[in-house]
Chain A
């Protein structure tokens, strides 16, 4: 399990806790002081990232926010990608 923190310019903090096996994410947990409406969508986002090859993270996050009616405040979909990728680069 690896964790990374990413401070979004302007205030909010994102943390990702990721377990990766052979280039595939097997566990993803995101936390932080951001706002997401509806709140329960975070669980769906994490599920959408589970079993994702590491080179598909961007696509999966993008698709999630395209398909689902979810609003974000204080962070953007790109910030989620950034913090998850940070756990892998480490």
Chain B
């Protein structure tokens, strides 16, 4: 029998709320045995999220963020900085136990499986993409999705970005790119290392169409059925508690 997972579908929230929801679902999954969950969501206002280990001043042009009204937040997951464009980006998150029969114990293999769901979803849209270890998905040699995973007390939380129609110019106004990081790349402009669904497909693409393809990607790859659901009251309580952490200067500016 196909297993049913909860789908929390396309909620639009600010950065601290989105990060609090992801962590709350993972925490509740540990303590209360809430369902395995996929979320698809958008960030309003647009935001930059940086990896847990990143230095905020090194990665983010804070003046540009202020000028353009872009929020800045630190994730609990490692990895790189992401520009979550309200008008052009979908974020997903997945919460499931590490001992789930479909989840490889090996962390890299589990990245590959979950990223495979994105790859399969994008294929439905006509995008040929592939998983590039450790945590990227590339289409036509350009990054179209970045992903990050953490594991706590037997639960996997993986979230990632899918660039639908992100403003790539704005992305590189709000993100700082280290000279050291560019130097070994052959492509001249950093902007040419990134693409989005619209650029790749050379046509307009809606959030609805992208969302549907991603849902199919998860269902087919993980052999699950997604059923729309809401946060439990326990999760909502956790979201309120965690929101404070994610909004605090101590958290965001810790590194």
| Docked CA distance A56–B77 (Å) | 30
Would you list which residues of chain A between 1 and 51 have a CB under 8 Å from chain B? 5-7, 9, 11-13, 15, 29-39, 42
Q: Is A66 an interface residue (CB 8 A)?
A: no
Contact status B134-A31, CB under 8 Å: no
Q: Is B12 an interface residue (CB 8 A)?
A: no
| Of the residues A7, A9, A35, contact of B79 by C-beta under 8 Å | A35
User: From B132, which residue of chain A is reached at the shortest CB distance?
Assistant: A11
Residues of B within 8 A of A12 (CB): 134
Contact status A31-B76, CB under 8 Å: no
Would you list which residues of chain B between 94 and 143 have a CB under 8 Å from chain A? 107-108, 134-135
| Of the residues A6, A7, A33, A71, contact of B51 by C-beta under 8 Å | A33
Known A33-B54, A35-B78, A35-B79; 15 more pairs at CB < 8 Å: A5-B178, A6-B180, A7-B183, A13-B178, A13-B181, A15-B55, A31-B54, A32-B51, A32-B54, A33-B53, A35-B135, A35-B149, A42-B52, A73-B134, A74-B134
Q: Assess A31 versus B53: contact at CB under 8 Å? Given A13-B180, A39-B78.
A: yes
**What size tier do the contact residues of chain B reach?**
20 to 34
| Of the residues A6, A11, A42, contact of B53 by C-beta under 8 Å | A42
Residues of A within 8 A of B54 (CB): 31-33
Q: Assess A34 versus B53: contact at CB under 8 Å? Given A73-B107, A73-B134.
A: yes
Interface of B (DSSP majority class):
loop
Contact status B181-A30, CB under 8 Å: no
Per-residue A-contact encoding for B148-180, CB less than 8 Å = 1, 0 else:
111110000000000000000000000000101
Q: Is B80 an interface residue (CB 8 A)?
A: yes
User: From A32, which residue of chain B is reached at the shortest CB distance?
Assistant: B53
Residues of A within 8 A of B51 (CB): 32-33
Contact status A11-B134, CB under 8 Å: yes
| Docked CA distance A42–B178 (Å) | 22
A46 shortest CB reach to chain B, Å:
10
